[in-house]
A and B are shown apart, each in its own frame.
Chain A
Amino acid sequence: MGTINEDLRKQAQKLLANKEIDYFVGCRQGTIPFRSAPHAFRTEAELDQLTFDMTCSNNLAQFLHKNYKKGDKIGIAAKGCDARTLIQLMAENQFPREAIKIIGVPCCGVLDQKKIRDKLGGKPVLKYSLPSMEEILSGKKDTLTVEGKDFKEEIKLADVVSNNCLVCEYPSAPLADTFIQEGLKQEKASGSMNWLEKFEKMSSDERWEYFSKQYSKCIRCYACRNACPFCYCEQCIVDDSQPQWFGKSTNLSDTMVFHIIRTLHVASRCIGCGACTRACPTGVDLVTLGLYLDKEIKERFGYTPGLDPGELPALCTYKEDEKQDFIM
């Protein structure tokens, strides 16, 4: 048994060598600190660039789905959220189970670039060093070191991990063909701070104020929509022109309606990977709304998306005798 990365490369290499897959979806180290690039590894020679660590914040299942063509056989390094996305997409008949070889990787959350930036007050990071996944997962180390022009700091990983990772209930792939280093499998987010509690304690006025502030930062670039693995409509409702449902400018009302609608369109499908929030260039808090709705749906319908490829999303089905306390 080697390191996680060595094992991952070995697995991918095996799959490619045996022609079990056409390509392997994984991450490549990025050109700037804390960013990585999703990549389709087609040859064994490329595989030495395949890495997995806390900077691999993209939803690889989104990348896979975007590039999937009928008949493709694809391997993927899947965190818990990547695997759940795949399962959910399978439930939506996007690709058959046999087409995907899921290699589960142990995950301890991904970094949020913006949190790091805020923490350092915008000072650019020139060098950083992350402890190895093994060290983090086994609880031996919980800080990362960043270095800039005239500073060197230790940052607690828990402070800069994505918000959705803090409440993640499925850090490991619920469905996988192989799992890398099973012993390091995480069961639940270690810091399980309930992110939503803070909002549930707020008054409705406070929440309105919070979300107005958040959404007024939106520049309507649609990075959230396009990074979302479940926003794969041929034409988005925003782009409809006859009728045009709501304005396309940065008007707060229009922007809010866009985000409400987007959240509703992925309701009971969103698995809370947080790709939307991390993709947002202006740092709008997008994942909170989705996480809240996820929780509501779970409480009401007992449904959690991304666990069973044979189950329909809660909003696509119904039960006859359901609680309807809010209906007159």
Chain B
Amino acid sequence: MKKLKLKKKNLGDFINELTRDYALYAPQEKEGTISFSLVEKPEEITLDYHNSDTSPKEIFFPQKEVILTYQDGNSQPVFYEGKPFALLGVRPCDAKSFQLLHQVFSTKKFEDPYWLTRFKNALIIGLACNDTLPTCFCNWLDGSPHGKEGMDILLTDLGETYLAEAVTEKGESLLKQQKDWEEASEADLKQASKLEETALKSLPPKIESAKLKEKLDGMWDDPLWEEIAQRCLNCGACAYLCPTCHCFDIQDEGNEKNGKRIRLWDCCMYPLFTKEGSGHNPRKNPADRVKQRFMHKFNYIIQNFDKYGCIGCGRCITYCPVNIDVREVLKQILET
């Protein structure tokens, strides 16, 4: 696979090139919040960032998506019709989350056309983390600050330049078109692997994550859930910022003549999430809902898709108003 060097001063040209063929999304700061937004001008982008406050999953799986409209008795599904998406500057953990979501939304039994329309043909250009956050723990969950999973191209910041490594055929062919980018030298590659080493060292010491699933198998009635639920507010901040949470709700808005059907994010922390038509709620207690969150991520998803349901980005740790730290919870699970 090709390994080239992109000079930082030429980044603008590359971005302009991307915006021609793609709907390009990159981290941008608005009102003090960094999120992936549509790029109109290259100078709006901030690649010098740790990680976006909201997760980039919202591009392929928007918080609110109209999936159907109806008028006078006729209905029509609505699919995304714009240019294919390109994401620039995605962190390795978030890129990995797309892979999991793709697996969830395209199983053998069912393929979600709304996800597929958006995700298909998407170009993911990742950006390796040279500097990690104190809340990062991707190394616990098969991830790495320089991981390539889920990307087409991986960029590594080498100071004056970005090292651009093709990961997929698609990335390779895009790099082949870049006639004026230099080939990366041995020294560059060495520098990149050194950066990776430093980044890895800055992460917290690993735990025995492989044992999580087995441990959780026996923890259905554990008092741990009650203990966490004591302070858990049962809000959706963790789920709505989480790059792998993918539960949704379908709502109809309109009247008898015309209207639309929208898909909205939903969250297992809300009592309404499992409330049945009869009024019965199988997850009535906050502790049950807390259990669901951790069971889903570290047991059910592992069982169904053979990977962790968490990628270790640490957003939930940063934003939990009552300091429920998933790392602490995982340690507690292993200790039981």
In the complex, which of the residues B235, B262, B271 contacts A279, with contact meaning CB atoms closer than 8 Å?
B235
Residues 248-292 of A at the B interface (beta carbon under 8 Å):
248-251, 275, 278-279, 281-283
Residue pairs across A and B with CB atoms within 8 Å: the count is 112
Whole-angstrom CA separation of A222 from B234 in the bound complex: 9
Q: Is the CB of B236 within 8 A of A222?
A: yes
* A residues less than 8 Å from B253 (CB atoms): 247, 249
Q: How large is the interface on B (under 10, 10 to 19, 20 to 34, 35 or more residues)?
A: 35 or more
Residues 3-38 of B at the A interface (beta carbon under 8 Å):
31-34
Interface assignment of A114: CB less than 8 Å from any CB of chain B = yes
Q: Is the CB of B319 within 8 A of A281?
A: yes
Q: Is the CB of A58 within 8 A of B322?
A: yes
B133, B134, B233, B320: which has the most chain A beta carbons within 10 Å?
A: B233
Q: Is the CB of A221 within 8 A of B236?
A: yes
* A residues less than 8 Å from B122 (CB atoms): none
* B residues less than 8 Å from A125 (CB atoms): 134
Whole-angstrom CA separation of A228 from B206 in the bound complex: 36
Q: Is the CB of A221 within 8 A of B231?
A: no
Q: Chain B's nearest CB lies how many Å from the CB of A248?
A: 6
What is the chain A residue whose CB lies nearest that of B29?
A122
Q: Chain B's nearest CB lies how many Å from the CB of A273?
A: 12
Q: Is the CB of B230 within 8 A of A40?
A: yes
Interface assignment of A124: CB less than 8 Å from any CB of chain B = yes
Interface assignment of B158: CB less than 8 Å from any CB of chain A = no
Residues 278-318 of A at the B interface (beta carbon under 8 Å):
278-279, 281-283
Q: Is the CB of B235 within 8 A of A249?
A: no
* A residues less than 8 Å from B271 (CB atoms): 235, 239
Residues 80-128 of A at the B interface (beta carbon under 8 Å):
114, 117-118, 122, 124-126
Whole-angstrom CA separation of A226 from B327 in the bound complex: 23
In the complex, which of the residues A118, A149, A250, A279 contacts B237, with contact meaning CB atoms closer than 8 Å?
A279
Q: Residues on A close to B: CB < 8 A? A: 30-33, 35-40, 58, 63, 66-67, 114, 117-118, 122, 124-126, 149, 213, 217, 219-223, 225-227, 235, 239, 247-251, 275, 278-279, 281-283
9 A-B contact pairs sorted by A residue (CB < 8 Å): A58-B321, A63-B230, A117-B32, A219-B54, A219-B63, A247-B251, A275-B321, A279-B237, A283-B33
